[in-house]
Amino acid sequence: MLSFHPVQINRDLNREDPLYVGHYFDLKGMWWKKRKQRQGLVISIALGWYRLVKHQSSAPGFIEEETFITNLTRQVNDAKVILEHFFEIKRTGFSFTNGVKSPTIISPKKLNKKFFRSIEGLMNEVQFDPGPAPIDKKLTITAVPIIRKNASAIKAKLKTEKREDLLAAVCWLLDRDTVDFFYKPSGKLQARDTSVWPIRAIELWPGWLRRELFGTIVDIENAYVQFMVQKLEKKYEHNARRMELKYPDLLRAHRDKQAFREELCRDVLRLPVTDENISTVKHLIMSLANGSNATPLLMVNGFGHSEAVRIVHEACPHLATAELLEVGARLSVIAKQFMAAKRALCIFLLKAKPTRDNQKKIFRMYFEWERESRYKIWEMVGFTGVNTHDGLDGIIITNPETFPEEVWKLHRLRVKIENYENDIASIQHQPAAETVLA
């Protein structure tokens, strides 16, 4: 996902520079403030183009990337004009007021070398410019501490990861101890939150970057499975044994998730138990929970548009046909338990038949539960941290060892705390702001 952020430089580009705003807009009668905004947008989009073509300048047309230009709000029309100079727009996205949206798909054009020279010459001058903070009282404000001790390593990794488009915004954050982020509800159901200032959609930044910048993380453990188990426990509160017999894998995924994931990794997929392979298993379980099918026939033939089958085939090319049949049989059992649970919740919660539409309503209920749970945690940490869909990054707490237990006692939610040790070390050894940007 390509991000564009409002940026500025502290000088005027000369007319011969390929990034000069006059090459993109008629400057006659244009107010200075508007001209400066458009110049910053040209530079921002040029940095995004540079990020994509830097390592594939000979054939950039084979690159495709998604972007939400609607995040630029008032500058959307200007952005379209500039984008057409740097990119071929493969598909124009949209964003409706009800939260339904689709990204714009773009492919970088092949431009001459003077664009590379101009962008590389500006790289150290570009400054992030978020503008004034919004005054809308309906927005939620959260304080986020900034961890600055690894500033040089963060900036170096951004270049290694080809994320120069984030560099200006990251440097702006690294110049501050704490930043107030403003949030509004987002999505079709308005059940999630997205940042609108100073950085739009900060929750979409790479996980490693948020971890390095913001410190302590709290996540709702296995959120979707936890939601289903909570509701099933209410349904079977007088017959817990029956629930254990009907949904043994679902309950293991909730109560003993690490052992369950390792078992699937080692004994079913026949992969070594590593962090990368466990991550693959997590995605596999979520695909089954979301309704992806995985039968022995599908697993062998590889058809049916099954996400679970795709994950297995990509992660386990070493499996023989007989082994794929075994994998399909095992995953089919898990998938059937998830499907049976959704049908049972339709009848229990909605008092309705388990039709496809009613099962979608259960999924909507999950999003509402997830937001409600996140806000309970958010309130406990004094509304600090960056809001993500199933947790918070950069919370301020002094009791990491006991905090999960406190959340469980107060709200019956399973959460986990990560990255706290780095947070404490950073707070004790914060460098001066001048050192960070040196």
Residue 229: inside a domain:
no
Q: Which of 281, 286, 284, 248 lies closest to 265, judged by CA?
A: 281
Least confident range from 123-127, 233-237, 365-369: namely 123-127
Least confident range from 54-58, 223-227, 262-266, 315-319: namely 54-58
- Where is the domain boundary, 354, 387, 414? 354
On the 0-12 / 13-18 / 19+ scale of CB atoms within 10 A, 241 is exposed
pTM: 0.75
Tokens of 228: 């289903």
Q: Is the pLDDT of residue 427 over 50?
A: no
What is the dihedral sign for C-alpha 110, 112, 116, 118?
Answer: negative
- Where is the domain boundary, 337, 354, 371? 354
Residue 266: inside a domain:
yes
Q: How far apart, in whole angstroms, are the C-alpha atoms of residue 64 and residue 88?
A: 9
Q: Which of 205, 186, 179 lies closest to 70, judged by CA?
A: 186
DSSP secondary structure string, 287-354?
HHHTT----HHHHHH--S--HHHHHHHHH-TT--HHHHHHHHHHHHHHHHHHHHHHHHHIIIII-S--
Structural domain boundaries, residue 43: 7-129
Who's near 102: CB < 8 A, 6+ residues apart?
93, 94, 95
Least confident range from 198-202, 335-339, 400-404, 419-423: namely 419-423
Q: Is the pLDDT of residue 116 over 50?
A: yes
Q: How many CB atoms lie within 10 A of CB 204?
A: 15
Looking at mean pLDDT, say which of 157-166, 199-208, 249-258 comes out highest: 249-258
- Where is the domain boundary, 85, 108, 129? 129
Q: Is the pLDDT of residue 38 over 50?
A: yes
Q: What is the CA radius of gyration of the chain?
A: 25
Helical (H) or strand (E) element with 83: helix 76-86
Residue 42: inside a domain:
yes
Q: How many domains does the chain have?
A: 2
Residue 255: inside a domain:
yes
Residue 167: inside a domain:
no
Q: How far apart, in whole angstroms, are the C-alpha atoms of residue 283 and residue 287?
A: 6
Report whether 194 contacts 203 (CB < 8 A). yes
